[in-house]
Structure 1
Amino acid sequence: MSIGVRSSPYWPVVSHPKLGRILPGLVVSALGDGMSLVAVTWLALQLAPQEHRGTWVAVAVAAYSLPSAAGGVLFGRFLRHRGGAQLAGWNAILRAAALGAIALAAALGALHLPLYVALLAVSSLLAAWGSAGHYTLIAELLPPVHHLPANAVLTTIANGATIAGPPLAGLLIGWTSPATVIAIDAASFAVLALTYRLAVPPGAPAADGSSSRAGFAALRRDRTLLGLLALSFAFFFLFGPFYVAMPVHVATDLHGSATLLGGYYTAFGAGALLGGLVTGYLRRLSLWPTTIGIVLAFGTAMLPLGLDVPTPVAIGSFALAGAIWAPYMATSMALFQRTTPAADLPQVLAANGAVLVLAVPLGTMLGGPLVALLGARPTLLACAAATIALGVFVIPVWWYRRHGSGGGPA
């Protein structure tokens, strides 16, 4: 069994002397984030007036992620030469401070919706740099052959945390309040910041300072990469309204509690954990058909959420959707790695990330008006159907590029 473990593509990652010290901090922080999946939306539901609940949930969720795109541009001049651990650590410090301020304001009875949204926005300003820091650190510490399994480890940690985080959040909200859960998330980011500070010396190698504009230029020149970026953006965008529709659906259509919402998230996380674990063993499959197939299968698995099916069936389909969703980022990143020259890869991935970070928040912002217009359950159904349509549309485009224009990447 020991030989099997050591032959795993993940062993060089988890056994690395520095990464091995960082992974526990990442697990703690991911658990806090998993709890916040429920707490951020549930606190918005509690603070918002009844007639505008969907809109304020959309605003809160967008505020917790969308400003990271602005931060990625505004702070590039100051942060692009920093090392990976420094970037990730600074993001963790800001998250801890802003989320802690939310909990403090709630404890003092001073929390209201504009302040809540503003503090969520502040907390997310460095999120893009924090994510870049994680992956930059991997590039600093590991040879290229181990980058893909290392990325999969990060994804698996995040997915695994959604198994325990949401139900724990549901229980804590029932006993205390969503503000208490947000305080715990703030503490988890403080732990992560301390972990980075202790595990990686301040003198670690600096990140590449190349301008992200070179990445955008490379994307414009390569129609295959541009098409992959468009597919990813549309895929993530269509998932965005879920973050509004699902809590409203649970609270209004199902008359459920935060615990039930946490159960849905846990099911998705359990499926995503399984999907993430098997991702490293999909390397023999052709990447483009696999990536398109993920889009089609994910939309199909999401359909029962928008239909009047028993709750256990809906939860099971959501778990299946999580398993299908998990490999997408790995396969799409592998396509970038296979297609892009090594010298251009950091800039191209930075440009790709700067665009994709907008997709889910913009979809979430659309979710508010959609829920108000259609209702929560029809919104879920419409998004699932649109995701299937996206996959169907991409198939002939890929087929033509592969077979009708002299070939292309598989």
Structure 2
Amino acid sequence: MKRTPYWPVLTHPVLRKVLPGIGVSSIGDGMSTIAIAWLALLLAPADQKGLWVALAAAAYVLPGAIGAVAFERWLRGRSGAQLAGWDAVLRAVVLGAIAVVHFVGLLTPMVFVVLLAVSSLLAAWGKAGRYTLLAELLPEEHVLAGNAVVNVLLEFSTVGGPPLAALLIAWAGPAAVIALDAATFAVLALTYRAAVPPSARETRIKAPASRSTGLRTILSNPELVGLMVLSFGFFLFFGPVTVALPVHVSEDLHGTAVQLAGYYTAFGIGAVLGAIVAGYLKNWPMRVTTVGIVLGFGLALLPLGLSPSTVVGWIAFGLCGLIWGPFPSTTTVLFQRAVPADGLAPVLAARGAVMSLAGPAGALVGAPAVVLLTAQGTLAAAAVGMIVLAGLTAAFFLASHRKRVVDVVG
């Protein structure tokens, strides 16, 4: 173990205390992946199920983009631990409120979506804080491994979370699962508070004055712009999958939450394995790697849109997870390498804000797509879109590389 790139991360005096909290919270979030979709299905009118699943999925992510801009004046320059901790507190309080409102019989589809939206207002800053903390605590040569360890924990959420959620939903209902997720976020918030030293938790980092600094920094770097476009398109095409898959299981296959959990568990197992591999990829060409991931994901997703077999679907979605696994670590490290630590949080928050628009936008497209193409047809269309996106991006990067070579020779 000491010879792996993960040893310095796992033995770091601060991170070894923070990582268990991230792991507990990730399990809670993995449970909510099933619970939010299933609660939306239960609350929605029979002829609007796809719409409310899409709105719920969007509400749990999209407001993070608003928060990234609206709260920059107060959050820019804060330490990574502060940003991540405050996001965890907000999630704990508002997700807990969803459970309470449901238990007293007042939860409607609209109230559910509004509360989900409030819970995600600090999502972009929370994610930025998590990776900023790694950049603050680790030397550059260990940052990719740090990203990979965190992402292994996050991806493990789709291994343990969905089957646990399915059992709890059958016993107590999806609102109880969301309440448990709120409790795990409370644990995470306490972990950041207790484990991170006050000097690292409370110090304000000198930050630029402009509210648009993060986005302007990205736009000034062609490599980061290309990465953003590829990532945005990838998440955009995955958005309809989050709508079509629950509807496909519920309506086409007449399945249960357990069957839906099987898809996410298969994805999670693959994603954990892929995330573990990510720590060994520091010498790989990262742009080529990201294009390959998008292409491979699209090819692996295609069987879900072509085969009615649940087993084939589980295997294909598991392969999608394996291919996806390194993507968060390798793309994040490109930003961590390109941007100094004192300006990293606004850049990652801007990136998170832009990325948070992609999935919900795709989910909103997914609702009418399910009506027009059927749920399985929507899955096939999303797969084809990813394949085309990868091809176009590869052509763009190749043309850009040739131009740089010509400029150097000239």
Identify the TM-score tier after normalising by the shorter chain. over 0.9
Is contact 2:34-2:162 (8 Å) kept? yes
Aligned to 2:367: 368
For residues 327-379 of structure 1, give each alpha carbon's deviation from its aligned partner in whole angstroms, at most 9, with x where no partner exists.
12223234445556777655544432321121111111211121122211100
Partner of 1:264: 263
1:212 and 1:351 in contact (8 A); partners too: no
CA contact (8 A) 2:205 2:342 kept: no
2:12 is matched with which residue: 4, 13, 16?
16
Structure 1 residues 382, 257: CA separation in 2 closer, same or farther (over 3 Å shift)?
A: same
1:286 maps to: 285
Deviates more, 1:292-301 or 1:277-286: 277-286
Instruction: Assess, with a 3 A threshold, how the Cα gap between structure 1 residues 383 and 342 changes in structure 2: closer, same or farther.
Output: same
Match of 1:358 in 2: 357
4+ runs deviating over 6 angstroms: 341-344
- Aligned in 2, Cα 1:340/1:73: closer, same or farther, shift over 3 Å? closer
Q: Which residue of 2 aligns with 1:327?
A: 326
Structure 2: stretches of 5+ with no match in the other structure: none
Identity %: 53
Is 1:248 matched up with 2:247?
Answer: yes
Q: Deviations over 1:136-171 (max 9, x none)?
A: 221222222221111111111011121010011011
Displacement of 1:284: 3.2
SS at match of 1:240: helix
| Deviation of 1:225 (Å) | 2.4
2: CA distance, partners of 1:167 / 1:339: 39
Deviation per residue, 1:64-123 (Å, 9 max, x gap): 111011011111111123222222111111111111111111111111111111111111
Structure 2 matches for 1:39-50, cutoff 5 A? 39-50=35-46
Evaluate the alpha carbon distance shift between residue 216 and residue 222 of structure 1 in structure 2; reply closer, same or farther with a 3 A threshold.
same
* Structure 2 Cα separation of the partners of residues 105 and 298 of structure 1: 39
User: Deviation at 1:283?
Assistant: 2.7
Structure-2 change in CA distance of 1:336 and 1:128 (3 Å): closer
CA deviation string 1:193-216 (max 9, x = no partner): 111111123442334523452333
Q: What residue in structure 2 maps to residue 68 of structure 1?
A: 64
Aligned equivalent of 1:302: 301
Q: Tell me how far apart the structure 1 counterparts of residues 83 and 226 of structure 2 sit (CA, whole Å).
A: 30
Q: Give the TM-score, by structure 1 length.
A: 0.94
Residues 67 and 317 of structure 1, relative CA distance in 2, 3 Å threshold: same
- For residues 38 and 394 of structure 1, the distance between their equivalents in structure 2, rounded to whole angstroms, comes to 33
> Structure 2 CA distance, aligned partners of 1:149 and 1:229?
22
Residue in 1 aligned with 2:124?
A: 128
SS at match of 1:193: helix
Q: 1:208 to 1:261 in 2, by over 3 A?
A: farther
Aligned residue for 1:241, secondary structure, equals: helix
Aligned partners of 2:75 and 2:342: how far apart in 1? 20
Distance 1:223 1:196, change over 3 A: closer
Are positions 1:158 and 2:154 aligned together?
yes
CA separation of 1:273/1:59 partners in 2, compared to 1, >3 Å: closer, same or farther?
same
* Counterpart selection for 1:32 from 28, 36, 39: 28
Structure 1 residues 259 and 386: CA distance shift in structure 2, 3 A: same
The 1-side partners of 2:84 and 2:217 are apart by 26
- Contact 2:303–2:316 (8 Å) recurs in 1: yes
CA 1:86–1:407: 2 relative to 1, 3 Å: farther
Aligned-residue CA RMSD in angstroms? 1.9
Task: Tell me, yes or no, if the aligned pair for 1:39 and 1:182 is still in contact at 8 Å.
Answer: yes
SS in 1 for 2:212: helix
1:209 corresponding residue in structure 2: 207
Provide, for residues 211-249 of structure 1, a one-character-per-residue CA deviation record: whole Å limited to 9, x for no partner: 452333333333332222111111111101111111000
Q: Is the 8 A contact 2:68 2:349 kept in 1?
A: no
Q: What corresponds to 2:276 in structure 1?
A: 277
Is 1:401 the counterpart of 2:400? The answer is: yes
State how far apart, in whole Å, the 1-side matches of 2:40 and 2:216 are.
40
Matched ranges for 1:142-157 at <5 A: 142-157=138-153
Q: Is the 8 A contact 1:84 1:207 kept in 2?
A: no
Unmatched runs of 5 consecutive residues or more in structure 1? none
